[in-house]
Structure 1
Amino acid sequence: MEPNSAKLPIWEKIGYGLGDAASNIFFQTVNMFLLFYYTDVFGLNAKVAGTLFILARFWDALIDPLVGALADRTRSRWGSYRPYLLWMALPFGLIGYATFANPALSDTAKIAYAYVTYFLLMTAYAAINVPYSALMGVMTPSSKERTSLSSYRFVGAFGGQLLIALGVIPLVRILGHGDKALGFKVTMAIFSLLAVLLFVATFLMTKERIKPHHEKPDFRKDIGSLLKNKPWVIMVVAALLTLSGAAVRWAVTPHFFKYYGGYNDAAMHLFGREIFLDHTSLFLSVGSLSFLLGIFFTPWLVHRFGKKNSLMVLTLANAAVLLAFFFVPRGDFWTMVWVNALASLLAGPTPALVWAIYTDVADYGEWHFGRRTTGLAFAAAMFAQKFGMSIGGGLAGWLLGIYGFQADAIQSEQTLMGLRVLFSILPGVFAVANGIVLIWYPLSDAMVRKIEEELAERRAGASPDPA
């Protein structure tokens, strides 16, 4: 039975979830639409955009461990991680807006502007999202409650994803009155304000309960303990593979439906009536709803099969469906929707499982090596995720260029085949590799419970740092 101090009220879990809704306003906009924005609105060459994706996301990944180490050493009346939600909310929103502001510039100046704003956006994202992620590890000492908290987090995350998937393209069209550049600018101004408000709400509605203990800061020792932490190493490799595949697919989704599907600004039949509805938005929205539905199976899966087994099997099943997508006929839009919905349903519980496992891995590091580095553990894991995103985003841009992609033009058969590969085969291969790597993850649920109990005994006899 969980001690009362370990239980979190529902309103606090909801408040924590709002933070990932805020993060995903820009995370998903960047993943789903930034490459399209750069090539088809801002006018960048696909290879130039691909190089920018690699460099900016590598920078983002590089600074994550530094932000995590800084957050671990932060002491304030609000705790170590919560303050960053307040301090960075406004800069995050302003820089996010500037990324899509589309000023009138020369071709060379556009490249420079894209580099500056994208690098700043990744810096701001790291500065607020690394502490936000680590916050889950200090809100409660209970692994069971953290799994629940992770589920709330990803309801918020995929709620934000659904908002972006459903809203961006229609709002760009409506608010821009046919001018995509204006549409993106106004749409992102609205979403930027919403992200700021949601992060402030998370700051106000959450609390840190696990206090840091007296311990001499030593970044080298902290890094050393992480590299010796086998469960963490396994999860880092899995994260690298997961986000590499996902980033490729996200980046080329608008291109896939515009050029391969031929659905750009086309009317469709829905419930027997011909209406104007953007196919890309509908595809992404149904996928996001399926993700949300999948999240609600997380507690049952953990109870029935355990975290590791659930994550591994779901990952491999999702890989099989992604590979099968390659064989869906070109003109069969609704089959594409339902196959993707199945893939999304299978993937839905996996982020909640992954982030709950990260808290277990952080506990393992404290239990085995005697050093609690929650922020650094999360940040270094996010380094792998974002490095994977840099690989995937860069591959998408570069391979589009290699396949001969030209914006707003009729594409060659080679380019169309390339879009199919980027949208299904390559993500599927990354997912298969990810599922295989998870076989070596060593922490069973029984071991996690033992670690939790022994850490509770240690903490009961330790003196916390003054806040």
Structure 2
Amino acid sequence: MTKLSLREKVGYALGDVASNFYWRIFDLFLLIFYTDVFGLPAAAVGTMMLVARIIDALTDPLMGGLADRTRSRFGKFRPYLLWGIVPLVFAGVLTFTTPDLDVDGKLLWAYATYVFMMLSYTFINVPYGALIGVMTSDSHDRTVLTSFRFIGAFTGGSIVAYLTPELVALLGQGDEVRGWQMTMALYGLVAALLFLITFLSVRERVSPISREQASLWVDIKDLGRNKPWLVLFSLALVIMITITLRASTGTFYLKYYVDRPDLIGAFSMTYMLALMMGAAITPLLTKFMGKKQLMLILMCAVTILSAAFYFIPRDQVLLMFVMQALIGICLGPKSPLVFSMYADTADYSEWHTGRRATAMVFAAAAFSQKLGGALAAALIGWLLGALGYAANQVQTSTSEAGIVMLMTIIPAVFAGLSVLLVRIYPLDEQSVETINLDLASQRAVIGKE
């Protein structure tokens, strides 16, 4: 069993640094960009983001099926790191371009460019995520690799969180519309270089035990019979709603409730650094307890801390930063744990059915992530619209209370739901080891034939 080198782990991690020049923008700034810069009503933005992400999410399994069936001298998944660069860069710039149109025209532009953006992201990110399942078959090595990946993700997220407001001001020179467009052009060039480095750094090693290629419909049916994957899909969906609610509402919370918009960059960066710290210590934590047990403890902590955030007075800024950091540390291991567990469910599916569809497993995982983010964004937009939110104005007590609830109690409810889902996840460390040993022996037999 090949152990991954430090060079390969770092090279792979740079791909998620690149991805987060886009994903973290969606989480932290896209909603407030559409309302406060683009000039769209909050409720319309909520609906648009839900519809666009559902359209995109439905294409994830198709992308997974396409990647699983790709044959090239570079492998199944690596080529997409090159093929997807140009569409992603152009889509990012167009999404943050503000044309001189009426509200209906702007909304149509937002639908078209955001769908294009998410489809471009899917085209490169689904194969990138699937690489975890074919770079190594060792469960612990996968956890380490996903920790590197999400250290990269949160590093990219920290850069985006802190620098974006500064870059928009610097590159726009007083023109916020142009500032956003130029910032995304710069991020696109950096992301393109990082994806190229990832392509050159990684290798695909794990081959399926069966060379017979099933149909796309059979792959989807296999997922429907994969109980560990179904539980994990639901868990990732709920946790993503929790994360997106807190991340997207944080900008509104600081701008309108705390009345400190100057702290948005520092607050967001603190959260990203805390997430990165949590991801970094994940391999150490998994040496002392299993992935399921660790996830259970962490999500209990997130539930309690998110609810406690509600009681912080608006003038206790330092306490807000401390609590945000604690929540980030607890949520940081979630990503490496869940994606390592997804790789385990791909092994379970192959062991159970004799067929392997790695990209399909990770594509459907991406579906869960995106759907969770879409539902959270829609909930924010709809609730703010219903409570009378008005962009760039002093908020009413009703809309202000809604912002606070979206930042605290509502995420706590979803975090509590995730605890219940973790409890019914069926794969523990012993069962994963048994599956891996059995698959390894089958591959050894095939190798001798």
Counterparts of 1:101 and 1:201 in 2: how far apart (Å)? 28
Please state how far the C-alpha of 1:142 moved relative to its aligned partner.
Answer: 1.1
Counterparts of 1:365 and 1:384 in 2: how far apart (Å)? 18
Counterparts of 2:356 and 2:389 in 1: how far apart (Å)? 48
Match of 1:293 among 277, 301, 314: 277
Please state how far the C-alpha of 1:394 moved relative to its aligned partner.
Answer: 0.5
Match of 2:223 among 203, 222, 226: 226
Counterparts of 1:183 and 1:77 in 2: how far apart (Å)? 41
Please state how far the C-alpha of 1:108 moved relative to its aligned partner.
Answer: 2.1
Counterparts of 2:270 and 2:150 in 1: how far apart (Å)? 16
Please state how far the C-alpha of 1:160 moved relative to its aligned partner.
Answer: 0.8
Runs (4+) of structure 1 moved beyond 6 Å?
A: none
- The residue that corresponds to 1:326 in the other structure is 310
Please state how far the C-alpha of 1:441 moved relative to its aligned partner.
Answer: 0.7
Deviations 1:397-441 (A, max 9, x none): 111101110011111000110000011111111111011111011
Please state how far the C-alpha of 1:217 moved relative to its aligned partner.
Answer: 2.3
Please state how far the C-alpha of 1:197 moved relative to its aligned partner.
Answer: 1.1
Deviations 1:69-98 (A, max 9, x none): 111111110111111111001211111111
- The residue that corresponds to 2:379 in the other structure is 395
Alignment-mate amino acid for residue 353 of structure 2: F
Counterparts of 1:81 and 1:319 in 2: how far apart (Å)? 37
Per mean C-alpha deviation after superposition, the further-off stretch among 212-221 and 185-194 is: 212-221
Counterparts of 1:223 and 1:429 in 2: how far apart (Å)? 31
Counterparts of 1:460 and 1:299 in 2: how far apart (Å)? 29
Secondary structure (helix, strand or coil) at the match of 2:223 reads helix
- The residue that corresponds to 1:251 in the other structure is 248
Contact 1:59/1:122 (8 A) holds in 2 = no
Secondary structure (helix, strand or coil) at the match of 2:399 reads helix
Contact 1:317/1:346 (8 A) holds in 2 = yes
Alignment-mate amino acid for residue 52 of structure 1: M
Match of 2:120 among 106, 119, 124: 124
Please state how far the C-alpha of 1:30 moved relative to its aligned partner.
Answer: 1.0
Match of 1:434 among 412, 418, 432: 418
Secondary structure (helix, strand or coil) at the match of 1:305 reads coil
1:38-117 matches, cutoff 5 A? 38-117=34-113
Counterparts of 2:393 and 2:107 in 1: how far apart (Å)? 22
Please state how far the C-alpha of 1:461 moved relative to its aligned partner.
Answer: 2.3
Counterparts of 1:390 and 1:289 in 2: how far apart (Å)? 24
Tell me the number of residue pairs that the alignment of Structure 1 and Structure 2 aligns.
Answer: 447
Per mean C-alpha deviation after superposition, the further-off stretch among 168-177 and 122-131 is: 168-177
Structure 1 spans left out of the alignment, 5+ residues: 265-277
Matched, 1:281 2:265: yes
Please state how far the C-alpha of 1:250 moved relative to its aligned partner.
Answer: 2.1
Counterparts of 1:42 and 1:381 in 2: how far apart (Å)? 31
Structure 2 spans left out of the alignment, 5+ residues: none
Match of 2:183 among 184, 187, 201: 187
Counterparts of 1:396 and 1:292 in 2: how far apart (Å)? 25
Please state how far the C-alpha of 1:141 moved relative to its aligned partner.
Answer: 1.4
Secondary structure (helix, strand or coil) at the match of 1:115 reads helix
Deviations 1:126-171 (A, max 9, x none): 1111111001100111111111111110010000110111111111
- The residue that corresponds to 1:272 in the other structure is none
Counterparts of 1:374 and 1:230 in 2: how far apart (Å)? 16
Counterparts of 2:82 and 2:447 in 1: how far apart (Å)? 28
Deviations 1:242-268 (A, max 9, x none): 11222222222211111111113xxxx
Contact 1:73/1:217 (8 A) holds in 2 = no
Alignment-mate amino acid for residue 63 of structure 1: T
Counterparts of 1:101 and 1:39 in 2: how far apart (Å)? 14
Matched, 1:202 2:198: yes
Deviations 1:49-68 (A, max 9, x none): 11111011111211111100
- TM-score of the two chains, using structure 1 as the length reference: 0.94
Counterparts of 1:235 and 1:61 in 2: how far apart (Å)? 17
Match of 1:31 among 27, 42, 47: 27
